[in-house]
Structure 1
Amino acid sequence: MALLAAPVPTTTASYAVYDRITHTLTGRDVHKPIRSASLVKILIAIEQLETRGDDPRIEPMLRVSDDNAASELWVENGWDQLVVRTAERLKLKDTRPPEKRGMWGYTAVSAYDVVKIYRYLLEDAKPKVRRTIMGHLQRAEKCASDGFDQSFGLPSATWRPAFKQGWSGFGDPAKPCVDRPRPRIQWELDTKSPALHTSGTCLFSIVVVLTLHPEGTTYEKAAKRVTQLTEEVTKHRC
């Protein structure tokens, strides 16, 4: 009897594109919950700015996705309750705090909610909050503080975006984007379905692409897939 070949694991992707001129949203599985990785850092920045004021740690947290800065601000702003408060304030539908309150990267989000976060920043947030966060995202750097290359997705597929990336489950970078990558925090080394996300604004659109990849997928392969998908969903838009 012939043996059936095992199915090849594939990338799971959800995405949403919001047109700020026509006010229309298009996408796929826009309400699918997925762990946020570093996208939650935007919520951390919103909470800090709206309740405690500006802080020098916001800049590295957003521009080079610094985890130490995020961890400190996460604790100072109430751990998981930060997510509860911001989700309620921004009227997010699918966002939930992590089961273990110290693991901020395991906050649940959806493409729909990440679009709503950007819409809040652009349409409803106080000018200082908007300028601070979007200003840092417009100046996001190629190399993250942990050695990963942040140039996949929106910065590779579109022109001059403001962007925030997310990644989780890839171990340490095979080819560090900086000379001396900072050691990764131990609880971030969970390797369930490596996650790679790109989000931000380009021209008149808000774009969110969230992906999970089969275990063992390299960062480079996942980044290429995310960039290709971003090119597809932003075609003729950005």
Structure 2
Amino acid sequence: MGFLRGTLSIALAGSSVLLAAAVNPLPSTAGADAVVVPPGVTAGVAVFDRRTGTFTERLNPDLQFRSASVVKLLIVLDYLWDRGPAYDIPAADRARLDVMLQSSDDSAASYYWDVRGGGAIIDRMVPRLGLTHTTRPPATHPGFWGYVALTAADTIRIYRYLLDQAPAPVRDYVMGNLYQATRCGTDGFDQYFGIASVFDLAFSVKQGWSGFNNSGGCATPSKAAGVDLVQEALHTTGTVGTDDRSIVAVYTLHPDGTPYGKAYTDLTRITRGLNVPGGIRAPGSWHTTYGSGVRVRTAPNTSGGVLGTLPAGVDVLVSCQQKGQVISAPPRTSDWWAYLPKYGGYVTNVYVGSGAAKLPGVPDCQ
């Protein structure tokens, strides 16, 4: 969105060996026991502090997960890699790449996967970035870019390349789009889980989800979101803090049939427990919702415009509560509405918390 108005200079030829050495992670300062994972969830976690050059969290950093949409980082980097000096990104490509990065558009990813040789993209990017456990999709599913295997450690390598090695126009374009990630993906799934739910102000994200056939919160998808080999997959990756101080990668697998809201909550709970230097936690307290299609409104009444809907049974951050329209859904009734700062709107307390008309410990909105 305007980050490449002029030329794109990429002088990368012959840099693979040097780059691989430059982006290999340093030893960890934290053990696996620092990461708390909900029962039934398989997780791979890495948090890298760029200021100190050390990891603050690592759990199964080399465990492979199907990438889902996180592979779009490699797709865009492969596209930009061989543009050559003094090259303008055509408007049509910029439009596709913008929506692929900001709103995780699958049709854009499929377009570049097809025109740039599918698995050959991965074959090129692995040595370029010094990736150690990233592989193309299985031979049985060559066209499924979401089946590319990625790890938390390799994801750190990708972001370290972007932030510390990539030519400035490449860094500014890709990271600029990740900082503008939309709440809703183009498939109707709410992608503000994990990093985007926990941290305030400076963060960028490239999220991934696969195998969830139920509503993702924003709208009813027009097609199934992602594909699934075994279990539902949900990943949050990106940067947190001023000057992208910390790089965060959390990959998760959930038991087959897990609703999107539960996976969203479990992943966010893992992220909430991480040591992320430079991260500013969004203020408020966490409360669990219930019900499907719960609407977030611009005002504490049903006349307020709808800002979005919540994934069913998801944890939400509440900063304050305000009196408004009485809502009754027996056995619950309340005239209090919770303000959700991450949505910029209100949800009736009837669908938030344990059933009390007024949420205990939550201040009144001023």
Give the TM-score taking structure 2 as reference length.
Answer: 0.59
Task: Select the structure with the greater relative contact order (CA < 8 A; seq sep ≥ 6).
Answer: 1
Question: Which residue is 2:238 aligned to?
Answer: 200
Alignment match, 1:165: 207
Q: Does 1:183 align with 2:223?
A: yes
Letter in 1 for 2:144: M
Question: Displacement of 1:191 after TM fit?
Answer: 5.7
What's the counterpart of residue 22 of structure 1?
52
1:151 aligns with 2:198: no
- CA 43–148 in structure 1, closer or farther in 2 if over 3 Å, else same: same
Q: 2 CA distance for matches of 1:210 and 1:172?
A: 20
Alignment match, 1:82: 121
In 2: Cα distance, 1:83 partner to 1:93 partner:
12
| RMSD value, Cα | 1.8
Unpaired runs of 5+ residues, structure 2, are 1-37, 280-366
What are the Cα deviations for residues 48-95 of structure 1, in whole angstroms up to 9, with x where unaligned? 111246322110001000000000011111100101100110000010
- 1:1-238 correspondence to structure 2 within 5 Å: 10-25=40-55, 26-52=57-83, 54=89, 55-56=93-94, 57-99=96-138, 100-159=141-200, 160-173=202-215, 175=217, 177-178=218-219, 181-184=221-224, 188-190=226-228, 192-203=230-241, 204-234=245-275, 237-238=278-279
In 1, the alpha carbon distance for the partners of 2:228 and 2:65 equals 15
Higher strand fraction: Structure 1 or Structure 2?
A: 2
Classify 1:174/1:14 alpha carbon distance in 2 versus 1 (closer, same or farther; 3 Å). Answer: closer
- The 1:227–1:213 alpha-carbon spacing in structure 2 relative to 1, beyond 3 Å, is same
Q: Residue type matched to 2:223 in 1?
A: P
Residue 141 and residue 79 in structure 1: after superposition, are their counterparts in 2 closer, same or farther (change >3 A)?
Answer: same
Structure 1 runs, 4 residues or longer, greater than 4 Å off: none
Looking at structure 1, the residues matched to 174 and 77 of structure 2 have their Cα atoms a distance apart, in angstroms, of: 8
The answer for unaligned runs of 5 or more in structure 1 is 1-7
- Do the aligned partners of 2:190 and 2:216 also contact (CA within 8 Å) in 1? no
Secondary structure of 2:132's partner?
A: coil
Q: CA deviation at 1:9?
A: 6.8
Partner secondary structure for residue 30 of structure 1: coil
One-letter identity of the residue aligned with 1:183: K
Q: Amino acid of the residue matched to residue 101 of structure 1?
A: P
Aligned residues: 227
| Aligned partner of residue 215 in structure 1, secondary structure | coil
Work out the percentage of aligned pairs sharing the same amino acid: 43
**Aligned-partner residue type, residue 79 of structure 2:** Q
CA distance in 1: counterparts of 2:270 and 2:214, whole angstroms = 24
Contact 2:214 2:260 (8 Å CA) reproduced: no
The code of the aligned residue for 1:45 comes to: V
Q: Which amino acid aligns with 2:65?
A: I
